[in-house]
Structure 1
Amino acid sequence: MKINTILLFFVVAGFSLSAQNKSTKGADKLVERYEYVQAVQEYLALVEIGKSDGYVQKQLGDCYYNMHNTVAAEKWYSQAVKTNQAAETYYRYAQVLKSNGKYAEANEQMKAFATMVPNDQRAKEFIANPDYLSELINKEKLFEVNKISLNSNRSDFGAVLYGDVLYFASARNESNKTYGWNDEPFLDIYQSTYNENKKYSEPIPVTELNSTFHEGPLTMTKDGNTIYFSSESLKDKLFEKDSAKKLKFGQVNLYKASKENGKWGAITPLPFNSKSFSAGNPSIDKEGKTLYFASNMPGSIGGTDIWKVAVNADGTFGTPENMGDKINTFGDENFPFITEDAILYFSSNGLAGFGGLDVFSVDLNQNGAPSNIGKPVNTEKDDFAFTYNKEKNIGYLSSNRAGSDDIYSTVPVCKGQVLTVVQNAKTEALIPNSKVVILDENGTVLDTQYSNEKGEVLYDLECQKAYAIEVYKDGFVTGKFPIAKLKGGKVFINAVVTPIEVIVTETEIVLKPIYFENDKSTITKWGAAELDKLVYIMSQNKNLIIYAKSHTDFRGTNQYNLKLSDRRAKSTVQYIISKGIDASRISGKGFGESDPKVNCKKCSEDEHTLNRRSEFMIVK
Structure 2
Amino acid sequence: MGYRWTIALVATALCGACHATPGDSKLPIDTPVRWTPQALSTDQYESSPTLSPDGRELFFFRADRQFDNYRLLYSRCEKDQWFAPVEPPFAASPGVLEADPAFSPDGQRLYYVSARDRPDDLDIWKVERNSDGQWGQPQRLPEPINSPQTELLPRELADGRLLFGSNRPGGPGGRDLYVATQQAGDGWEVKPLPAPINTAGDEYEADLSRDGRVMVVVANRGERSHLYLFDRDDKDNHNGWRERGRVPARDDVFQVGPLLSPDGKRLLFAQADGERSGELFLAELQPDSDAAWPPVCK
Question: TM-score if structure 2 supplies the norm length?
Answer: 0.74
Report Cα offsets for 1:436-456 as digits up to 9, x if no partner: xxxxxxxxxxxxxxxxxxxxx
Matched, 1:214 2:106: no
The alignment yields a C-alpha RMSD, in angstroms, of 3.4
SS in 2 for 1:319: strand
User: In structure 1, what is the Cα distance between the partners aligned to 2:49 and 2:43?
Assistant: 16
Contact preservation (8 Å) 1:189, 1:210: no
User: In structure 1, what is the Cα distance between the partners aligned to 2:208 and 2:138?
Assistant: 23
Matched, 1:400 2:268: no
How much does 1:257 deviate? 1.4
Report Cα offsets for 1:94-143 as digits up to 9, x if no partner: xxxxxxxxxxxxxxxxxxxxxxxxxxxxxxxxxxxxxxxxxxxxxx9366
What letter is aligned with 2:225? L
What letter is aligned with 1:359? L
Partner of 2:134: 263
Partner of 1:281: 153
Contact preservation (8 Å) 1:158, 1:168: yes
Report Cα offsets for 1:462-497 as digits up to 9, x if no partner: x9xxxxxxxxxxxxxxxxxxxxxxxxxxxxxxxxxx
From 187, 204, 219, give the equivalent of 2:70: 187
How much does 1:194 deviate? 4.5
Partner of 1:146: 34
User: In structure 2, what is the Cα distance between the partners aligned to 1:222 and 1:313?
Assistant: 22
Residues 341/313 of structure 1: CA separation in 2 closer, same or farther (3 Å cut)? farther
User: In structure 2, what is the Cα distance between the partners aligned to 1:369 and 1:298?
Assistant: 25
User: In structure 2, what is the Cα distance between the partners aligned to 1:183 and 1:169?
Assistant: 11
Higher relative contact order (CA 8 A, sep 6+): 2
Matched, 1:171 2:43: no
User: In structure 2, what is the Cα distance between the partners aligned to 1:292 and 1:392?
Assistant: 16
Contact preservation (8 Å) 1:144, 1:412: no
User: In structure 2, what is the Cα distance between the partners aligned to 1:4 and 1:274?
Assistant: 16
Partner of 2:85: 203
Counterpart mapping for 1:447-458 below 5 A: none
Partner of 1:229: 112
What letter is aligned with 2:242? A
Contact preservation (8 Å) 2:266, 2:286: no
Partner of 1:572: none
What letter is aligned with 2:282? S
User: In structure 1, what is the Cα distance between the partners aligned to 2:9 and 2:200?
Assistant: 21
Contact preservation (8 Å) 1:305, 1:322: yes
Partner of 1:159: 49
SS in 2 for 1:386: strand
Partner of 2:251: 379
* Structure 2 unaligned spans of 5+: 11-27, 235-239, 292-298
From 301, 305, 311, give the equivalent of 2:176: 305
What letter is aligned with 2:50? V
Residues 305/393 of structure 1: CA separation in 2 closer, same or farther (3 Å cut)? closer
Partner of 1:576: none
How much does 1:338 deviate? 1.4
Contact preservation (8 Å) 1:161, 1:388: no
User: In structure 2, what is the Cα distance between the partners aligned to 1:392 and 1:221?
Assistant: 16
Partner of 2:225: 357
How much does 1:411 deviate? 4.5
Matched, 1:346 2:217: yes
Matched, 1:67 2:17: no
What letter is aligned with 2:49? A
SS in 1 for 2:136: strand
What letter is aligned with 1:382? F
How much does 1:401 deviate? 4.7
How much does 1:3 deviate? 5.3
The structure that is helix-richer by fraction is 1
Contact preservation (8 Å) 2:270, 2:279: yes
Residues 67/220 of structure 1: CA separation in 2 closer, same or farther (3 Å cut)? same
User: In structure 1, what is the Cα distance between the partners aligned to 2:265 and 2:51?
Assistant: 11
What is the count of residue pairs matched by the alignment?
261
What letter is aligned with 1:410? A
Partner of 1:369: 242
SS in 1 for 2:137: strand
Contact preservation (8 Å) 2:267, 2:283: yes
How much does 1:320 deviate? 1.0
SS in 2 for 1:409: strand
How much does 1:252 deviate? 0.8
How much does 1:4 deviate? 2.1
Report Cα offsets for 1:29-81 as digits up to 9, x if no partner: xxxxxxxxxxxxxxxxxxxxxxxxxxxxxxxxxxxxx312289xxxxxxxxxx
Residues 412/372 of structure 1: CA separation in 2 closer, same or farther (3 Å cut)? closer
Report Cα offsets for 1:399-457 as digits up to 9, x if no partner: 125363322233455349xxxxxxxxxxxxxxxxxxxxxxxxxxxxxxxxxxxxxxxxx
Contact preservation (8 Å) 2:149, 2:167: yes
Contact preservation (8 Å) 1:142, 1:373: no
What letter is aligned with 1:389? S
How much does 1:144 deviate? 4.3
